[in-house]
Structure 1
């Protein structure tokens, strides 16, 4: 008569319940829970339990054989338990990896969205500032900035020079006679039209402007010389 060890069957439901709880925490499907709780070999009844209950070790000669069988059964159940745990680990790990991948995708999407929003906001802010700053350029601001240039020795760039226009140009082609006339004559003051033109000509006269060329950054020197020539010719046309 054969015997099978009861301790493994006593603890099987607890083992399955532990993994079933892990499944439920992961939100796995009910059919996997059913398999873990009812259909896995660990949760099957011990087929030798009744025989073992009614057949004690009465024959001392059979003890070694029975003990060997019990050892084999223990090894079989230990192997089955290891296989079961590997299956649980595979399912658990796959589900965890999927959740981690989904979370990483969400983080990347959020970072991309924030980057795009920052770029758009930066462009809007620069566009607003480029429109707002020139409109604040008054005749008084224009004169003050030129006084600061003549009283310092700092390098000059195209954008640091106060051009005689409300909307400050970014290239020589942005400078026009109409824009210069609108700027010079738009603001009331004590100077007459002729006096304002004369004051502007003193600033933009080629001989006087030539003194500033040594302070102009090298890569913008030709660009500034071209723009200054356009301003000087426009002022001559306004006389």
Structure 2
């Protein structure tokens, strides 16, 4: 796999390039790399949440573990498509046991403005408004996704 990952090609018994097997292995490498990327993103997000909630120091806008794969600079970056890809991307993993409905429920509970009052009490004064706006934006987008899922015909199956 490492050989193919670095650009190498597999050979058949006669020493000729086996493009079919090489391409199959490249597809498998791409899938494994994407799974590792998604797993690392999600576990990093969960780790940042645990660390922030366990901490006692002041919190800034940059310290909040926003549900995006990159650091957030402004609230305008909290768009529904990016949130949905980040929150539900790891559900595509082969060994995943969490459903979309379960992830949605957990995210709604996590981002509910009333549940984050303890966090808001630690936010530095100059970031309070933008953090509050970000929390409300994430929650509003999550509610819209939940409403959309409820209206879709396959939501009864608990889409994963």
- The question of a shared fold, defined as TM-score above 0.5 by the shorter chain, is answered with yes
Alpha-carbon offset, residue 205 of structure 1: 0.4
Among 159, 163, 168, the alignment partner of 2:66 is: 163
4+ residue runs over 3 A deviation:
none
Report the equivalent of 1:231: 138
Report the equivalent of 1:197: 104
1:93-104 alignment runs, 5 A limit: none
Q: Which runs of 5+ in 2 are unaligned?
A: 1-37, 147-160
Alpha-carbon offset, residue 136 of structure 1: 9.4
Partner SS, residue 148 of structure 1:
helix
In 2, the alpha carbon distance for the partners of 1:146 and 1:200 equals 12
TM-score, with normalisation over the residues of structure 2? 0.62
In 1, the alpha carbon distance for the partners of 2:66 and 2:39 equals 13
Report the equivalent of 2:83: 180
In 1, the alpha carbon distance for the partners of 2:131 and 2:42 equals 21
Structure with the bigger RCO (C-alpha within 8 Å, sep 6+) is 2
Report the equivalent of 2:48: 145
Q: Report the aligned-residue RMSD.
A: 1.7
Partner SS, residue 63 of structure 2:
coil
Q: Which runs of 5+ in 1 are unaligned?
A: 1-134
In 1, the alpha carbon distance for the partners of 2:85 and 2:122 equals 29
| Residues 73-98 of structure 1, C-alpha deviations (whole Å, 9 max, x = no match) | xxxxxxxxxxxxxxxxxxxxxxxxxx
8 Å CA contact 1:137, 1:166 repeated in 2: no
Alpha-carbon offset, residue 167 of structure 1: 2.4
In 1, the alpha carbon distance for the partners of 2:100 and 2:139 equals 16
TM-score, with normalisation over the residues of structure 1? 0.42
Report the equivalent of 2:122: 215
